[in-house]
A = this chain, B = another copy of it.
Amino acid sequence: MTLIVQKYGGTSVGTLERIQAVADRVIATRRQGHDVVVVVSAMSGETDRLLELARGLAARPTEREVDVLLATGEQVTIALLTIALHDKGQDAVSFTGAQVRILTDSAFNKARIRDIDGAQVRKALAEGKVVVVAGFQGIDGSGNITTLGRGGSDITAVAMAAALKADECSIYTDVDGVYTADPRIVPDATRLDRISYEEMLEMASLGSKVLQIRSVEFAGKYHVPLRVLSSFKAGRGTLIIDEDEKMEQALIAGIAHNRDEAKLTIVGVPDRPGIAHGILGPIADANIEVDMIVQNVGADKTTDFTFTVHRNDYDKALEILQKTAGKMGAQGVNGDKRIVKISIVGVGMRSHAGIASRMFKALAGEGINIQMISTSEIKISVVVDEKYLELGVRALHSEFGLDKGAGKAGG
């Protein structure tokens, strides 16, 4: 008997009809001989409705009470799904985060799971029941209701799978898996059967919004096989697993891109120790997150310092940087919102030299000028003019043999 944890998001349980469909899918999994734990989110729109009520009473509603309020969203869904399962003849039982004893810290609205006491769940499973668990919520050591913040239900599912030593955690979403590139940009993109946690993390952090980074990290840490698949379309989705379990070791797993960044440069800063901190300190103080950073010292003992931030933070960052430039005696400040980041991701590049130069050559072949470069062990990112986004992604997708049928043609 294997144990599968399934997670359905707000859209998947957004109407009574969809809840019925989820119940059917759960029962189908049960009939395949698996034990099933189902983690659900609030029905789509419910969380916003509740937040609107709270904001109607206070500009900044108390965080503890917002969690008490929001936790009702998932509680409604677990009851409804369990009612639907019973009506279809499947024994089942619902548990809130408090009932499962999903213990978290006390950081309301963004709590972190510390421990799960799965005794109640195990008992119910042993009785042949499907167990329906409220995602996104827990309790702290004092019994206060907490919520886990964005992507919280995914985290709940992964944590439940880890605690119960489940054979797999299936995350049902509105996409049918992880692709070698965004299919809207690369029509030849293919769905990956398997990808490692590390690759998935890089893909996620680069804007492939299939999964929240936190849940991938969590799954990797506890070696929970994580499957991403569609609520609405049949298919095996993409399995995210440990690197050494990944059979087919492709050089590059996929091409990711991110249009959410903007670039800022402070020009002609007199070069002396501490300038990086002098420039980025005030940016960090304003709670602006910095992604890529590039610095080059010129011949004239001054340096140009460039970094990227989220586009929403661009104006604020520019203002701060102008003040900094004044203080530091820099020549000036400039910035560009019309950029994109394109990255190649793959654990294979660890053991293969020359990947970077193949990447740069492919881009150069299309006449694409590279503005910034940043590398990690399993990823190389470049910043280019946003007009080159599609061209660049397609060129790299083709260069690294990811196009549909390319593997076959090459083999």
Residue ranges of A at the interface with B (Cβ–Cβ < 8 Å): 16, 19-20, 50, 53-54, 56-59, 61-62, 64-66, 68-69, 71-72, 75-76, 78-80, 82-84, 86-87, 93-94, 96, 98-99, 120, 143, 145
Contact = CB atoms under 8 A, between A and B. Distances in A.
Given A16-B57, A93-B64, A120-B143, A76 B83 contact: no
Contacts of A120: 143
The secondary structure that dominates the A interface is helix
7 contacts: A58-B84, A62-B83, A62-B86, A65-B78, A65-B86, A68-B82, A68-B96
Contacts of A82: 62, 65, 68
A257 to B, nearest CB: 41
Nearest to A134: B68
Contacts of A65: 78-80, 82-83, 86, 94
Contacts of A78: 65, 68
A84 B78 CA distance: 28
Contacts of A58: 83-84, 86-87
Contacts of A53: 16, 76, 80
When all copies of this chain in the complex are counted, the total is 2
B94 A57 contact: no
A69 B143 CA distance: 20
Contacts of A71: 75
B99 A79 contact: no
A119 B57 CA distance: 29
A6 to B, nearest CB: 18
A287 to B, nearest CB: 24
Contact of A68 (B57, B64, B94): B94
Contacts of A87: 57-59, 61
A80 B76 contact: no
A54 B75 contact: no
A19 B61 CA distance: 14
A65 B96 CA distance: 11
B76 A75 contact: no
A25 to B, nearest CB: 15
A76 B84 contact: no
Nearest to A67: B79
A130 to B, nearest CB: 12
Q: Which among A69, A93, A94, A120 has the highest number of chain B CB atoms within 10 Å?
A: A69
A69 B132 CA distance: 13
A356 B283 CA distance: 88
A79 B66 contact: yes
A330 to B, nearest CB: 45
B79 A68 contact: yes
A329 B45 CA distance: 65
Contact of A76 (B20, B50, B86): B50
A192 to B, nearest CB: 36
Contact of A61 (B57, B61, B83, B145): B83
A61 to B, nearest CB: 4
A20 B143 CA distance: 27
A404 B69 CA distance: 48
Contacts of A20: 57
Nearest to A71: B75
